[in-house]
Amino acid sequence: MSRVRIAVLDDTQDVALGSADWSALEDRAEITVFREPFADEDAAARALAPFAVLVPMRERTPFPASLIARLPALRLVALTGARAPSLDVAACTAHGVLVCNTAMDSAAATAELAFALILACARAIPGADAAMRAGGWHGGVPLGTVLAGKRLGVLGLGKLGSRVAGYGRAFGMEVVAWSQNLTAEAASAGGARLVSKEELFAASDVVSIHLVLSERTRGLVGGPELAAMRDGAILVNTSRGPIVDEAALLAELARGRLRAGLDVFDREPLPAGHPLRSMGNVVLTPHLGYATASVFAQVYRESVENIDAFLAGRPIRVVNPDALGRHAR
């Protein structure tokens, strides 16, 4: 009996196989790890056509209906996380492809990175580190900003935003918040004071974004919001790049008015020649919010369980049960 071919995708840090015990699949499966992103949909279709099982890392590789239709051997998408907005689940169902998911308890990991970016911007830590490594000392390193007594504006006060609000209070910051459906009572319960969107941007020393990308939030932070921010204010985004109008942000950063800590971008990986890479008032991380040992251990362990159950004919954590028993290919 031939072994099932499994593709583990987007393992850019080379940690997937070491994050869980894959030995339960060894006798029934052949595992191939893809570490680099695909150049485009054609490249993905060519590389993945022979595989029956895909293990994508969240939405790093998009799977629209057009790509699903070009994967004739595909039978299971084992998601690392509860959902992947770039996966067309309806197309999977139509083609008889089962989708299973995992839990992903990444709120603490992402919130901690967000506050790390706040601190890195406030104290110019990357520039100071670079100066030291180049043999320098204080030269060229700007004076830092004390967070105590400053105002932290949290855009989106859910699980992540509430954690960041708590960190801000611990640092002696006043915390305000806004989102489309946030009430004064919910803001208070999350450790913040509800303000208007206009006040949040105009009167905050730090703005941290914690919203889900949707049609309502795409471009929500645009030119007017950025122009309203105080000189020297810090914008941190660990949610999704398109929530912020990139062109407007680049314009404000080029003027030197703002500082930014960015973990997410319109295009990922961020192109090598992108202007953000050369700006001294920006701290950049490569979408590391959830990329921690504990999170990866959880999602890959549960992915192995999902594949094992699927191969045994008893699938678990099924996202699209209507695909069960369908053979549309």
Is residue 3 annotated as part of the catalytic site, yes or no?
A: no
DSSP conformation class of 67:
H
Assess contact for 262 and 284: CB atoms under 8 A: yes
Q: Which residues contact 236 (CB under 8 A, 6 or more apart)?
A: 114, 117, 118, 121, 206, 207, 208, 209, 260, 261, 262
3-state secondary structure of 71: coil
Could you report how far apart the first and last alpha carbons of the chain are, in Å? 21
The Cα angle at residue 119 between residues 212 and 206, in degrees rounded to 5: 55
Pair of tokens at residue 134: 């180049």
* Catalytic residue from among 58, 151, 210, 287: 287
C-alpha to C-alpha distance for 97 and 89, rounded to whole angstroms: 9
The Cα angle at residue 326 between residues 323 and 329, in degrees rounded to 5: 110
Q: Which residues contact 308 (CB under 8 A, 6 or more apart)?
A: 24, 25
Pair of tokens at residue 104: 């992903």
* Catalytic residue from among 163, 240, 259, 317: 240
One-letter amino acid identity for 275? P
* Catalytic residue from among 41, 112, 268, 305: 268
C-alpha to C-alpha distance for 304 and 113, rounded to whole angstroms: 27
Q: Which position has the token pair 């660990």? A: 238
C-alpha to C-alpha distance for 289 and 81, rounded to whole angstroms: 14
Pair of tokens at residue 12: 């850019």
Is residue 240 annotated as part of the catalytic site, yes or no?
A: yes
H or E stretch covering 295: helix 293-311
Is residue 230 annotated as part of the catalytic site, yes or no?
A: no
Q: Residue 17: count other Cβ atoms within 10 Å of its Cβ.
A: 13
Active site amino acids: 240, 268, 287
